[in-house]
Amino acid sequence: MTSRTTGSLTPSEHSSLLSADPEAAGHGHSTFPHSQHEHPITSTPPRRLARRLYISHFLSTWNSRVFEFGTVLYLASIYPGTLLPMSIYALSRGVAAILLAPAVGHYIDTGNRLQVVRVSIVLQRIVVAASCLIFYLLAIELPVLSGIDNILLVALALLACSEKLCSIMNLVSVERDWVVVVAGNDHDSLRTMNAQMRRIDLICKLIGPLAIALVDGVSTKIAILFNLGMNICSVVVEYFSIARVYYEVPELQSKTKTYIESQNTESDQHNRVARLWNYWYRLAQKALGDFASYFRHPVFLPSFAGAFLYLTVLSFAGQMVTWLLSTGYDSTQVGIARTLAVVFEVLATWIAPWLMGRIGPTRAGLWLANWQIASLVAGMSIFWMFPDQPLISASGLVGGTILSRVGLRGFDLCVQILVQEGVEVENRGNFSSIEAAWQNAFEIGSFISTIVFSRPEQFEWPALISVIAVGLAGILYTVFVRIQRGHLIHVPKWIAAPGMLQQTRERCIERISSASDF
């Protein structure tokens, strides 16, 4: 990929979205220029248009969340007493996302927008359907399949890789590209749409796993068939809803295409193996170039800080849930705690846009990052203070984690605004895919931490690593704010004025002397 000059795209305090001035944040113009090939929409998108986009995103996210949590239940039922199949399954998804994310980003940037999203929808539904069929075959325990269990597990892992890549393709395309184009230069609409998309994500995260868990409580086989049925029934609505959005927004159809061209015209004379090797070699070169471009980009620091937050076990995922059950929590209490955490995450989708409207996303991100750090440090302090009372120490960490979700999701929304405004339209897919690769890399790091410290009594160390990771993310974002704004806090004028502090000191000494004389 040809390198681009990005210095002129650096955000400034005069940007409508990066300004500390509330009025500027709401009514100014963006510093980040749109591509000359992308004509921004000047009016608020119709509700009907936004509703179709939300419906497609809801169905895609719902199916993804249900299948993601369902696989944990299916594997636990099929392979009781071992975490090895689940670990292989999860790691394969993460590794695929890291290795192939640049290729996905290239396809997003060079392909037709509608074709990219439709491919992600259809291919993901096919992969999930095939996975459900394999899960069902394993669940019914046919004697003829007893000798090929390992082969079926490998097939599930490969299908999981495809499902993860399709999920990334759909998420990046819709949230990082379509939403920006549909909102145009209406920054209030962009903030509103971002918040609504995040609410959809969080609602699916809350209700989807709960729904499949309730069905799985009746029967794992019924849960697999339920998952398969929803997956098949939703594809038609998704397919045509996203198409209506595409055809009603001309700007979505004006994307410029760039293709990887052959290095020389003699490649056609090579045999098939040589051409394939040449293709993958060029693709690897492009991936390295994309990573280098990502690190040089002006919004690299907030993006990488957001990815760093994935290095955590304090998220009410499988690792933390398993530890809580070992400390004396029962499944109902864990469910209540998880529900409260998601409620706070949903609350952040209202708090963050309000705060960004008041002080801009740059400062809002700093405040929310500090909130997350303070909440986790407080929870970790209680955890360390009561080592002999596991229920109290665990409750302290649970409380800190729940409170931190406001900062986590709010910070994520601020970073999303900065990335959407700062990344060029022709580079959004590459940038967001590399960001997704780092997110998966840090998520794998969290899995490794609980593999190394696998006993429940050792959970303090993965938890400490998580808090340190959040602190490092806060430092990276603070550096970004310092570079952008030139300062971190507003100093009062009476302090900042030259000589004012010295004059105040002299007046105080004079008053003390006068009182002594009297």
Q: Which residues contact 118 (CB under 8 A, 6 or more apart)?
A: 239, 242, 243
CA angle, corner 54, sides to 53 and 60, nearest 5?
A: 95
Shared-domain flag, residues 82 and 214: yes
Q: 212 and 91, same structural domain?
A: yes
Question: In terms of domains, do 239 and 325 share one?
Answer: no
Domain with 453 in it: 293-490
The answer to whether residue 270 sits within a structural domain is: no
Q: Are 442 and 308 in contact (CB under 8 A)?
A: yes
Does one domain contain both 169 and 305?
no
> At which of 200, 221, 252 does a domain end?
252
Determine the residue type at 228: L
- C-alpha 78, offset from chain centre: 30
Instruction: Give CA–CA dist 201/272, Å, rounded.
Output: 43
Look at the chain and count its residues.
Answer: 518
Regarding whether 173 and 62 lie in a shared domain, the answer is yes
How many domains does the chain fold into? 2
Q: Does residue 210 form part of some domain?
A: yes
Q: Could you say which of 252, 285, 311 is where a domain stops?
A: 252
Return d(Cα 363, Cα 489) in angstroms, integer: 9
Q: Are residues 368 and 242 part of one domain?
A: no
User: Which one, of 320, 340, 271, 286, lies nearest residue 447 by Cα?
Assistant: 320
Q: Are residues 68 and 215 in the same domain?
A: yes
Q: Is the dihedral of CA 419, 420, 422, 423 positive or negative?
A: positive
Q: Which of 202, 233, 252 is the last residue of a domain?
A: 252
* pLDDT less than 50: residues of the chain: 1-42, 256-269, 494-496, 501, 512, 515-518
DSSP 267-326: GGGS-HHHHHHHHHHHHHHHHHHHHHHHHHSTTHHHHHHHHHTTS-S-SSSHHHHHHHHH
Dump the DSSP string for 497-509: STTHHHHHHHHHH
Co-location of 458 and 322 in the same domain: yes
* 238 and 297 housed in the same domain: no
Query: How many angstroms separate the CA atoms of 471 and 473, rounded?
Result: 5
Q: Cα–Cα distances in Å, from 275 out to 43, 103, 267, 278, 333?
A: 48, 17, 7, 5, 58
The reply to whether 274 falls in a domain is no
192 and 298 part of one domain: no
| pLDDT score, position 7 | 36
Closest CA to 198 of 178, 221, 224, 175: 175
Query: Using an 8 Å Cβ cutoff, are 209 and 215 in contact?
Result: no
Q: What type of residue is 233? A: C
Give the pLDDT score at 493: 52
The token pair at 262 is: 């052959």
Q: Please state whether 28 falls in left (phi above 0), alpha (psi between -120 and 50) or beta.
A: beta
**Cβ-contact 179, 191 below 8 angstroms:** no
Give the per-residue pLDDT at 82. Answer: 60
Q: Report how far residue 118's alpha carbon sits from residue 57's, in angstroms, rounded to the nearest whole number.
A: 12
Q: What is the CATH number of the domain that holds 456?
A: 1.20.1250.20
Q: Does 235 fall in a domain?
A: yes
Residues 314 and 236 in one domain: no
Establish if 184 belongs to a structural domain: yes
At 490 the pLDDT is 59
DSSP-assigned letters across all residues of 99-144: HHHHHHHHHHHHS-HHHHHHHHHHHHHHHHHHHHHHHHHHHTT-GG
The amino acid at 298: P
In a domain, 18, yes or no: no
In sign, the C-alpha dihedral spanning 351, 352, 353, 356 is positive
360 φψ region: left (φ > 0), alpha (ψ -120 to 50), beta (else): left
Identify whether residues 392 and 320 lie together within a single domain.
Answer: yes
Question: Which is nearest to 499 in space by CA: 489, 507, 511?
Answer: 507
Q: Does the residue 268 lie in any domain?
A: no
